[in-house]
Amino acid sequence: MRGTGAVPVPDGDEDVRPAGKRREVGTSLLWAFGVTAGLLLGAAVAAWVTWLGVVVGLAAVVVAACLVGGAWHRAGAAVTVSFGGFALMMFASPAVYEGYMGAVGEPVDAVVVQVVDEERRRGPSMFCTLRELDGERRVHRVSQQENCFGQAKAGDRVTIVKDPLDLLDPRMPDGPEQEDSRRITLAATVGLTALVLGTTVYAGLRRRG
């Protein structure tokens, strides 16, 4: 009797590969979304408490590097995720801050009292002192993180945006040439989010060992 060339498959083994593949897809997506969410959370927290947000973001980068480079043995992907994660934190923090203030912020009239450029080597160097014109006439000192880039001079009246929860410092209005920078920040945030997410999923699906 001529054989058919088929190899018999023992009962119960026919679904092992598909099940394993489905498991890889599931864990890859889970880790990818978890790492990306951790980076975005760190960026959001950094707008409130800088050091705490940095700690959260760095923890997400370390977890991603150990997972992708160590457990999954994809060194190139680990480098991409690590550098992409650092860059994402830098762009996402101002993007989250601007988005939050634009969505729920309350406009308040204020006057610019002082603009100072301290020429620091690290951290923000330009600071604006603002005094509200209504209510308690509160005074705020904001930096480049809150959009103080010299677009307003001392004595100018501006409309600042305040956090209704009073957790974040007020944001100064954009200057005439700042719309492009906001678009670049948003585009970079979206692109880097996709890069980290996609690279982590790719590494999980192509894991070794």
Fold of 106-175: OB fold (Dihydrolipoamide Acetyltransferase, E2P) (2.40.50)
pLDDT digits (tens, 9 = 90+) for 40-66: 999 999 988 989 999 999 999 999 999
DSSP state at residue 149:
S
pLDDT, residue 1, reads: 42
Residue 116: phi and psi, rounded to 5, are -130, 135
Contacts of 153 (CB under 8 A, 6+ apart): 112, 115
pLDDT, residue 17, reads: 56
pLDDT, residue 58, reads: 96
pLDDT, residue 11, reads: 52
Query: In the chain, what are the domain boundaries?
Result: 20-100+183-205, 106-175
Residues of the chain with pLDDT under 70: 1-17, 120-124, 209
Write the burial class of residue 74 (CB in 10 Å: 0-12 exposed, 13-18 middle, 19+ buried).
buried
Give 81-113 as a DSSP string. Answer: HHHHHHHHHHHHHHHHHHHHHHHH-EEEEEEEE
